């Protein structure tokens, strides 16, 4: 091999090899962890992917998903042209049509439906990508529909709600400056893995670590105290923390005195949850609970690293996380360096150290004049706290037509397996008159659409992203779009014009919109365009500490609310009025939480602990037939939901659907590691391989989700929801396992 | 050593894996004197392992030299090509060539390899059966197999070489009959269960097997056309069959004609110590002529393997260099155990250690539709130790993957079984 | 010249597979056609005194100093790259005899559909030009590194020293 051949083999950039490095961001997972991509482009084609060294968050590294970006971009499943359905919904039979034909047809159909049934009968939904959400919301409101919905209906919103109810807005863990961190259900080895280097650095420097997780994650093995709790009992554990902290006088008395609401009620609540009692509920030792609580309360500053979905994927999820977040107020670790910081977002949910008009851009203020959103009646707390509609109520409203009929769905990235009882969900969606799905791939959900529009990936489009350390990047396309695909925003912009919505700014395209949003920041598109690799924001400054000192917290009382004013108001129950509601009295849990209460069960103003609706404690009868706790949604590092299933590189790392089972449970069921087994619930069964592992608690089964041939979410009823957030109780229900007779499973993947 | 000898070159007899590695080791150890190679082949060395691939058309001639990118001209000063060795005088430190040249040596490496033997195949006037060992053999076999006239080939023998010849014939689209006196192929390395399965796979690929059979006679099929019409071979069963070519692959023996009887301690090959030294001063042996330590029996044995030749040649080269520099040699040859991997088409077979059963051994058979393993255990040093392993895989890629990771592990496990016993002697 | 060496620190590895995928990207591995990945990530569980430990290991070719595979290869397909000390395969010379598979102590050799052996070449075509191997470049935790031999040894010694701490 001569030198040039060797350089070509090594994919070494340079004029001789014709390989050029272009900068982009990875949006396979989203948001908040956007990693810088170095795309090695030769003859207009990406030939290699690496991390961008100067990227402020990822520092030149990537995870296994981002590393597979090339196969994501060039997947044979990419939709190359707009498609019109010719066969039955779901059949996957389509014919290619032109963009003009597709967009004109969509505009005509949507306007006709608006004329006949009202704009609210059209839903505007965003799965992934998240980057285009502000545009989609503006587009929906332009159209006149209040029904802008996102996959956050089962992802992050409930976690945000728990914080809003408690102290007004999310407060992120300040790992960099902390002395003690509680990872409360966060597994950085599988998700947001590129934070690991900084986490490791803090641990090396002596930062104390507490981990709360039903599974023995990597970070759990490095913890000073690891609490491997039974799924769905986070609230009991948090109340026991409160018991120790209050009982031993370790709380921040000054802060609690001045800045909290309902401390006396909270004190009484936690007095009912001794570590011994919580130990019985959670399955951990009382001494570990005490040790962890003391560590958190006595380290200054200390923070809680929460995560989007795991804790709120329980039917008692919001209250459980509220109990956790109350600890931040109790210890005064709110909005201080090294504690949990309130850092207002600049763009796409991320703070960037500069002000923008993104929220104004969405036009959310117009919601007040529109009909009620999907889910508003059923989930009034959601309606109070979120600008979105609650997507988990879609199937009910389609079926009942109440409070008004739904007729059309316009989706950016629909994945019906996001919903519990996914098959039933898609059956309801099929009753709609018109479905549009914009996606990169002809997914199983896209097959149900009447028109499919091809979207492009982050490598092929422009998008603006920012990072909390004061960095901003407005990317340039690294390559031409694959096929006839287009950026989601281009599609919205074009369609807006054809619908005649009269939105000049949106019609003017992404640069104009970005310029408009950035106006208060002093940043301009012209300046950003000089730095396609991103730039440090001039004058970006970290937010001040203790911003509550001027203006208070963004709660009705302006304080951290142990007793939530919103829940008090909406739940219609004063504290104590319902007769000491479920103060974590697990023994009473058998009367399932949703049963009995005349008012709104589960809406207690205090973060009371209730058993998950389905648990061995709440349903002992059912547990005789279904003795194991089923958790759906644990993560593997190479997959983000189903987004990298179709990539041969990531798929090769884990080819088959599987579930984690403890060795004793596997042995009891007569199942060996790697064998096929059935996971059975009252709602259904799936067949997956058994991964027999000590990482799982005895008694728990963790089933990996989103597999077309073994859809975990079909194992739940569509109404198995948290009454406050409408979130599915994915992480705790009941199941049994049994050997499966699978023939031909030896079919090798070569 | 006689002082007058010090200025003489190191002479390497043979130019295969052992000799080339000896030469490289001499240089690596700092030997700066002359190195003379004597070979009956050309100036370019070649690997006998590759000859069947050449004959079968998988590779070309220039690929048969595995050291093509090694600048051997800078390692070896003098190559006596196409030279035949007449005799060796160990007392005089002298090798006599057929052409009368006399080469004195300071150190001598005997690495002349082996040649095929053909016991019991009848002489046929005007036809010389094919064999496969040297490049010249391979050229002849290749010519024969590329001839359109040639359709039916008799391969006589069930050795590894026989199977590689068989593969070359299959690659060339020939009909092959495999003839063997023994009841199974690969008698020395395959357990009968595995051999039988292998045989079934060969039959499934169109090979005709004639096991437990001998050849009673052979004659030109067509008396006028002589060998052009092929050979009519009569088997011990009385059946007769016509073949266009016959390849004899029944085994090999070392090339040691030139060593006077009694000059060097010999059995089947030259007995060597752990530094590959023969019984005569300054004479070393390596590769297929050397009977070095077989760990599985503790006795010296010829284990004709490429890797053994490489490592023995290197060991000999280092030892020669050390002695020439007045040092004691270090890094002895550790010994080896019989092992082999062979593939015929998509069938892979591996053998490690002693696959034979005897009363003291426990045998474990693991079988799946596409793979067969036989593990043989023996009590050694109070432990149940793996001493023999066979694995045969067919078709399934997944099994081939396991094969690749398993054979190396089994080899090491079996080595350990034998080394453990040695270590526990005290 | 100080030679550089590829090292792995199991204490930092979290089993994220980024190295495995980056390797496949660098080497254009056609996983759909059954081509094997060069770098394997493995997980091992242990329970001692009730505490569960999971160890992750990322392994590819060790590029041994005394590489058995080099001795076993009869076709010259395996050689040591002079510039980087990597053991590299020239697949065009490989006859698929699997002798390297028998010889390798680490189970590294894999064979493609064409029967030829393939494995990690330590990205010698990158390191030659001053770039790190793809797996090292991408590793989010620094478990894989490509460093001066002495620096790597110093790191190893420091880790060993730290094991006494308590």
How high is the pLDDT of residue A586?
41
Whether pLDDT at B242 is above 80: yes
For residue C37, tell me if it sits in a domain. Answer: yes
Query: Using CB atoms within 10 A of its CB, is residue A539 exposed (0-12), middle (13-18) or buried (19+)?
Result: exposed
Min Cα distance A189 → chain C (Å) is: 6
Nearest Cα of chain C lies from the Cα of A67 at a distance, in angstroms, of 5
C129 and C47 within one domain? yes
> Is any Cβ of chain C less than 8 angstroms from the Cβ of B136?
no
Percent of chain B with pLDDT over 70: 96
**Predicted local distance difference test score (pLDDT) of residue A572:** 76
**Which range of residues forms the domain containing residue C6?**
1-60+125-154
Which of A520, A536, A552 is the last residue before a domain boundary?
A: A536
State the pairing for strand pair A302-305/A180-184: parallel
β-pair type (B152-156, B270-271) = unpaired
How many C-beta neighbours within 10 Å does residue B5 have?
16
pLDDT tens digits along C34-70: 788 999 999 999 988 878 999 999 999 999 988 999 9
Better pLDDT: B43 or A578: B43
Do A55 and A125 fall into the same domain? Answer: no
Task: State the residue for tokens 């930062």.
Answer: A207
Question: Same domain, yes or no, for A277 and A413?
Answer: no
For residue A241, the model assigns a pLDDT of 98
Q: Is residue A10 part of a domain?
A: no
| Residue of A233, A320, A321 lying closest to A616 (CA atoms) | A233
Nearest-CB residue to A649 (from C12, C31, C53)? C31
Distance from CA of A745 to the nearest CA of B (A): 13
- A-to-C residue pairs, Cβ atoms closer than 8 angstroms: 125
A592: pLDDT strictly greater than 60: no
pLDDT above 60 for A140: yes
Q: Is residue C23 part of a domain?
A: yes
B396 and A CB contact within 8 Å:
yes
Same domain for A333 and A370:
no
**B66 CA to centre of own chain:** 16
B396: which chain C residues are within 8 Å (Cβ-Cβ)? Answer: none
Using a CB–CB cutoff of 8 Å, tell me whether B17 touches chain C: yes
Q: Are A58 and A101 members of one domain?
A: no
Does the pLDDT at position B426 exceed 50? no
Domain residue extents for chain B: 3-115+253-324, 135-250, 339-421
The reported pLDDT for the residue numbered A743 is 57
Testing the interface with A: which of C10, C13, C15, C17 to mutate, by most A Cβ within 10 A?
C17
| One domain, residues C97 and C139 | no
Q: Is the pLDDT of residue A408 over 50?
A: yes
Q: Which residue of C has its CA nearest to B311?
A: C71
Cβ <8 Å between B339 and C110: no
Closest CB to C104: pick one of B68, B403, B408. B408
Which pLDDT score is estimated for C129?
93
Per-residue pLDDT band for A656 (boundaries 50, 70, 90) equals very high
Is C33 an interface residue toward B (CB < 8 Å)? no
Angle ∠(B384,B387,B388) on CA atoms, nearest 5: 130
Phi, psi of B409 (to 5 degrees): -65, -40
How does residue A294 score in pLDDT terms, banded at 50, 70 and 90? very high
Interface test with A, best of C11, C21, C125 (most A CBs within 10 A): C21
Contacts of C51 in chain A (CB under 8 A): 221
Tell me how close the Cα of A285 comes to any Cα of chain C, in angstroms.
13
Find chains touching chain C: ≥3 CB pairs under 8 Å.
A, B
A750 has a chain B CB within 8 A of its CB:
yes
**Mean pLDDT, all residues of chain A:** 93
Output the domain CATH number for residue C78: 3.30.70.20
- Do C39 and C72 share a structural domain? no
Please provide the distance, in angstroms rounded to a whole number, between the alpha carbons at the two ends of chain A.
30
Q: What is the pLDDT at residue C2? A: 52
Question: Do A189 and A108 belong to one domain?
Answer: no
CA A592 from centroid of its chain's CA atoms: 27
pLDDT at A748 over 50: no
> Domain containing A360 — which CATH number?
3.40.50.740
Same domain, C38 and C3: yes
CB atoms within 10 A of CB C2: 9
3-state secondary structure B307-338: HHHHHHHHHHHHHHHHHHCCCCCCCCCCCECC
Residue C112 forms contact with B (CB below 8 Å): no
Chains in contact with B, where contact means 3 or more Cβ–Cβ distances below 8 Å, are A, C
The string over A278-315, giving b where at least 16 C-beta atoms fall within 10 Å of a residue's C-beta and e elsewhere, is: bbbbbbbebebbbbbbbbbbebebbbbbbbbbbbbbbb
| Residue B118: predicted pLDDT | 82
Best B20, B58, B343, B404 member to test C by mutation, with max C CBs in 10 Å, is: B404
Mean pLDDT of chain B: 91
Measure in Å the smallest separation between the Cα of B391 and chain A Cα atoms. 20
Lowest mean pLDDT among A25-34, A294-303, A672-681: A25-34
Say yes or no to pLDDT of C156 above 90.
no
Domain B3-115+253-324 CATH class label: alpha beta
Please indicate, yes or no, whether residues A41 and A57 belong to a single structural domain of this protein.
yes
C72 touching A (Cβ < 8 Å): no
pLDDT value at residue B404: 85
Equal fold, B3-115+253-324 vs B339-421: no
Q: Is A748 on the interface with B (CB under 8 A)?
A: yes
Torsion of CA B75, B81, B84, B86, to 10 degrees: -50
**Same domain, yes or no: C131 and C146:** yes
Q: Do C137 and C55 reside in the same domain of the chain? A: yes
State the Cα–Cα distance between residues A522 and A538, nearest whole angstrom. 9
**Which residue out of B58, B307, B353, B414 would a mutagenesis test of the C interface target, given it has the greatest number of C Cβ atoms within 10 Å?**
B307
Question: Structural domain tally of chain C?
Answer: 2
How wide is the angle at C-alpha C95 spanned by C-alphas C93 and C98, nearest 5°?
125
Q: Which pLDDT score, from 0 to 100, does residue A584 have?
A: 43
**Which of C9, C25, C125, C135 to probe by mutation at the A interface, max A CB count within 10 Å?**
C25
pLDDT at A679 over 80: yes
Kindly list the residues from chain B whose CB atom is less than 8 angstroms away from the CB atom of residue C97.
49, 341-343
Q: Are B320 and B31 in contact (CB under 8 A)?
A: yes
CA distance A703 to A632: 5
Q: Does residue C164 belong to any structural domain of this protein?
A: no
Structure tokens at B249: 């692959």
Partner residue facing C126 (CB), from A10, A652, A653:
A10
Same domain for C34 and C21: yes
- Please tell me the total count of domains within chain A: 4
Q: How confident is the model at residue B226 (pLDDT cuts 50, 70, 90)?
A: low
Is the residue at A589 inside a domain?
Answer: no
Residue C146 is assigned to a structural domain of this protein: yes
Show residues of chain B in contact with A746, CB under 8 Å. Answer: 396, 398
CA–CA min distance A202, chain C (Å) = 13
- At A325 the three-state DSSP class reads helix
Selecting from C20, C52, C137 the residue whose C-beta is nearest the C-beta of A694 gives C52
Q: Which residues of C touch A697 (CB under 8 A)?
A: none
Which architecture characterizes domain B135-250 according to CATH? 3-Layer(bba) Sandwich (3.50)
pLDDT at A461: 97
Q: Is residue A677 predicted with pLDDT exceeding 50?
A: yes
**Percent of chain B with pLDDT strictly greater than 90:** 75
- pLDDT mean over A715-730: 96
Whether residues C26 and C50 share a domain: the answer is yes
The confidence score (pLDDT) of residue A188 equals 85
pLDDT on residue B343: 87
Q: Are residue C67 and residue C22 in the same domain, yes or no?
A: no
CA A348, CA A31: separation in Å to the nearest integer?
7
Residue of A nearest to C12 (CA): A200
For B37, residues 6+ apart whose C-beta sits below 8 A from its C-beta are B11, B12, B14, B15, B19, B23, B76, B78, B79, B80
Q: What is the pLDDT of residues B119-155, one digit of tens each?
A: 878 888 888 899 999 999 999 999 999 998 899 999 9
**Taking CB atoms and an 8 Å cutoff, what residues of chain C touch A694?**
45, 47, 52
C45–A694 CB contact, under 8 Å: yes
Touching check for B346 and chain A: CB below 8 Å? no
Please tell me the CATH code under which domain B339-421 is placed. 3.30.390.30
pLDDT at A581: 42
The alpha carbon of residue C164 is apart from the nearest alpha carbon of chain B, in Å, by 32
The residue among A300 and B43 whose pLDDT is bigger is A300
What confidence score (pLDDT) does residue C84 get?
A: 85
Residue B88 confidence class, pLDDT cut points 50, 70, 90: very high
In tens, the pLDDT along A557-569 reads 999 999 999 999 9
What was the pLDDT predicted at B397?
A: 65
A746 CB near a chain B CB, below 8 Å?
yes
Average pLDDT over residues B67-80: 91
Please indicate whether, in this complex, the C-beta atoms of B397 and A750 are within 8 angstroms of each other.
Answer: yes
Q: pLDDT for A330-376, tens place per residue?
A: 999 999 999 999 998 999 989 999 999 999 999 999 999 999 999 99
Averaged pLDDT, B295-305: 91
pLDDT reported for residue A723: 94
Q: Which of B65, B314, B341 sits opposite C99 (nearest CB)?
A: B341
Q: Is this complex's ipTM strictly greater than 0.90?
A: yes
pLDDT band (50, 70, 90) for residue B425: very low
Distance (Å) from the alpha carbon of C9 to chain A's nearest alpha carbon: 14
In a domain, C163, yes or no: no
Specify if A329 maps to a domain: yes
| Domain extent at residue A183 | 157-341
Q: What pLDDT does residue A31 have?
A: 60
A743, A746, A747: best to mutate for the B interface, most B CBs within 10 A: A746
Band (A573; pLDDT cuts 50, 70, 90): low
Identify the three-state secondary structure at position A609. Answer: strand
Mean pLDDT of B344-359: 87
């Amino acid at each position: 091999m001569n030198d040039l051949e060797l350089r070509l083999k090594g994919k070494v950039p340079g004029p001789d090899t014709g390989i050029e490095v272009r900068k982009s961001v990875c949006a396979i997972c989203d948001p908040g962890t956007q990693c810088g991509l170095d795309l090695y482009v030769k003859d207009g084609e990406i030939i290699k992917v690496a991390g961008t060294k100067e990227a402020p968050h990822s520092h030149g590294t990537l995870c296994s998903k981002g590393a597979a970006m090339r196969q994501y971009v060039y997947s044979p499943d990419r939709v190359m042209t707009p498609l019109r359905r010719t066969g039955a919904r779901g059949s996957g039979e389509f014919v290619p049509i032109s963009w003009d034909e597709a967009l004109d047809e969509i505009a005509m159909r949507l306007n006709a439906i608006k004329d006949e049934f009202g704009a609210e009968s059209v839903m505007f939904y965003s799965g992934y990508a998240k980057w285009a959400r502000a545009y989609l919301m503006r587009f929906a409101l332009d159209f006149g529909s209040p029904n802008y919905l996102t996959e956050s209906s089962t992802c992050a919103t409930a976690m945000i709600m728990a914080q809003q109810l408690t102290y007004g807005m999310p407060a992120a863990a300040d790992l960099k400056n902390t002395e003690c961190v509680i990872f409360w259900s966060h597994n950085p080895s599988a998700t947001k893995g590129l934070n690991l280097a900084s986490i490791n650095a803090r641990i090396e420097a002596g930062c104390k670590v507490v981990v709360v997780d039903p599974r023995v994650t990597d970070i759990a093995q490095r913890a000073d105290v690891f609490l491997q709790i039974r799924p769905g009992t986070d609230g009991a554990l948090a109340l026991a923390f409160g018991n120790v902290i209050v009982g031993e006088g370790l709380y921040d008395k000054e802060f609690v005195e001045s800045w909290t609401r309902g401390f006396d009620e909270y004190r009484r609540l936690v007095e009912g949850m001794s570590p011994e009692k919580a130990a019985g509920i959670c399955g951990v030792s009382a001494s570990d609970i005490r040790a962890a609580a003391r560590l958190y309360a006595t380290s200054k500053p200390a923070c809680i690293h929460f995560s989007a979905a795991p804790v709120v994927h329980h039917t008692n999820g919001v209250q459980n996380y509220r109990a956790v977040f109350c600890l931040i107020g109790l210890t005064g670790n709110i909005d201080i360096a090294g504690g949990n910081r309130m850092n207002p977002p600049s763009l796409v949910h991320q703070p960037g150290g500069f002000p923008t008009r993104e929220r104004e851009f969405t036009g959310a203020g117009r919601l007040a004049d529109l009909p009620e959103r999907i889910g508003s009646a059923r989930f009034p707390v959601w309606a109070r706290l979120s600008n979105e509609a609650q997507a988990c109520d879609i199937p009910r409203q389609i079926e009942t037509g109440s409070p008004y009929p739904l007729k059309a769905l316009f989706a950016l990235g629909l994945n019906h397996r996001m919903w519990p009882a996914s098959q039933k969900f898609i059956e309801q969606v099929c009753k709609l008159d018109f479905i549009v799905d914009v996606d990169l791939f002809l997914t199983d959900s896209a097959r149900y659409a009447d028109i499919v529009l091809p979207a492009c990936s982050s490598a092929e489009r422009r998008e603006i992203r920012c990072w909390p350390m004061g960095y901003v990047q407005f990317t340039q396309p690294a390559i031409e779009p694959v096929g006839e695909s287009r950026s989601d925003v281009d599609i919205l912009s074009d369609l807006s014009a054809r619908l005649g919505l009269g939105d000049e700014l949106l019609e003017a395209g992404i640069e104009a919109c970005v310029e408009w949003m950035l106006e208060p920041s002093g940043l301009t598109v012209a300046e950003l365009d000089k730095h396609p690799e991103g730039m440090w924001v001039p004058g970006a400054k970290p937010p001040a500490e203790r911003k509550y000192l001027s203006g208070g917290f963004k709660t009705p009382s302006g304080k951290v609310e142990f007793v939530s004013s919103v829940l008090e108001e909406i739940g219609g129950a004063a504290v104590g009025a319902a007769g000491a509601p479920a103060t974590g009295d697990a023994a009473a849990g058998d009367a399932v939480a949703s049963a009995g209460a005349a008012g709104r069960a589960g809406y207690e103003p205090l973060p009371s602990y209730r058993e998950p609706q389905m648990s061995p404690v709440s349903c002992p009868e059912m547990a005789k037939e279904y003795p194991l706790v089923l958790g759906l949604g644990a993560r593997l590092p190479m997959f983000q939901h189903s987004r990298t299933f179709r990539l041969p590189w990531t798929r090769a790392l884990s080819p088959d659907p599987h579930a984690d089972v403890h060795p004793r449970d596997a042995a009891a069921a007569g199942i060996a590691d790697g064998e096929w087994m059935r996971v059975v619930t009252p709602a259904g069964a799936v067949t997956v391989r058994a991964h027999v592992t000590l990482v799982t608690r005895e008694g728990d089964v963790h089933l990996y989700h989103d597999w077309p041939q073994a859809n975990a979410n079909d194992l739940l009823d569509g109404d198995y929801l948290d009454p406050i957030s409408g979130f599915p109780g994915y992480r705790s229900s009941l199941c049994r396992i049994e050997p499966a007779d699978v023939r031909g499973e030896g079919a090798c993947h070569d | 050593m006689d002082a007058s000898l010090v200025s003489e070159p190191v002479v390497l007899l043979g130019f295969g894996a052992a000799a080339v590695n000896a030469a490289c080791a001499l240089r690596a150890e700092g030997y700066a004197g002359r190195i003379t190679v004597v070979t009956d082949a050309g100036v370019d060395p070649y690997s006998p392992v590759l000859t069947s691939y050449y004959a079968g058309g998988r590779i070309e001639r220039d690929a048969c030299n595995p050291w093509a990118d090694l600048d051997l001209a800078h390692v070896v000063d003098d190559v006596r090509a196409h030279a035949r060795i007449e005799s060796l005088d160990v007392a005089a430190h002298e090798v006599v060539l057929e052409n009368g040249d006399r080469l004195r040596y300071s150190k001598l490496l005997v690495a002349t390899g082996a040649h095929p033997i053909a016991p019991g195949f009848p002489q046929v006037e005007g036809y010389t059966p094919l064999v496969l060992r040297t490049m010249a053999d391979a050229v002849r076999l290749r010519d024969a197999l590329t001839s359109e006239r040639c359709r039916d080939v008799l391969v006589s023998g069930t050795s590894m070489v026989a199977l590689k010849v068989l593969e070359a014939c299959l690659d060339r689209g020939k009909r092959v009959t495999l003839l063997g006196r023994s009841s199974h192929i690969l008698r020395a390395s395959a357990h009968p269960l595995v051999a039988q399965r292998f045989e079934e796979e060969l039959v499934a690929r169109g090979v005709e097997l004639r096991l437990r059979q001998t050849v009673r006679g052979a004659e030109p099929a067509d008396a006028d056309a002589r060998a052009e019409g092929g050979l009519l071979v009569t088997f011990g069963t009385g059946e007769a069959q016509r073949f266009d070519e016959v390849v004899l692959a029944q085994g090999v023996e070392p090339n040691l004609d030139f060593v006077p009887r009694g000059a060097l301690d010999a059995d089947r090959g030259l007995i060597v110590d752990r530094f590959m030294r023969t019984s005569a001063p300054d004479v070393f042996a390596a590769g297929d002529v050397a009977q070095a330590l077989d760990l599985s029996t503790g006795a010296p044995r010829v284990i004709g393997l490429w890797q053994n030749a490489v490592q023995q040649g290197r060991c000999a080269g280092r030892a020669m260099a050390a002695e020439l520099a007045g040092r004691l040699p270090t890094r002895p040859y550790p010994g080896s155990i019989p092992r082999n991997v062979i593939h015929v088409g998509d069938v892979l077979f591996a053998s490690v250690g002693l696959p034979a059963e005897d009363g003291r051994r426990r045998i474990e058979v693991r079988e799946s539709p596409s793979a067969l393993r036989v593990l043989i255990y023996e009590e050694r040093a109070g432990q149940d130790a793996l001493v023999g392993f066979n694995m045969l895989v067919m078709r399934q890629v997944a099994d081939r993957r396991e094969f690749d990771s398993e054979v190396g592990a089994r080899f090491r496990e079996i080595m350990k079984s034998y080394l453990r016993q040695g270590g526990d002697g005290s | 010249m100080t030679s550089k060496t590829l090292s792995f620190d199991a204490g930092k590895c979290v089993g994220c597979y980024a190295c495995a995928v980056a390797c496949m990207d660098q080497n254009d591995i056609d996983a759909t056609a059954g081509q094997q990945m060069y770098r394997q990530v493995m997980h091992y569980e242990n329970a001692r005194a009730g505490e569960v430990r999971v160890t992750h290991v990322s392994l590819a070719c060790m590029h041994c100093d005394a590489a058995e595979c080099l001795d076993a290869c009869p076709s010259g397909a395996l050689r040591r790259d002079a510039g980087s000390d990597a053991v590299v395969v020239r697949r065009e010379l490989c006859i698929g005899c699997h002798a390297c598979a028998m010889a390798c102590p680490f189970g590294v050799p894999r064979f493609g559909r064409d029967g030829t052996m393939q494995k990690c070449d330590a990205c010698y075509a990158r390191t030659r030009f001053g770039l790190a191997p793809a797996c090292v470049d991408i590793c989010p935790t620094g478990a894989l590194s490509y460093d001066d031999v002495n620096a790597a040894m110093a790191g190893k010694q420091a880790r060993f020293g730290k094991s006494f701490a308590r």
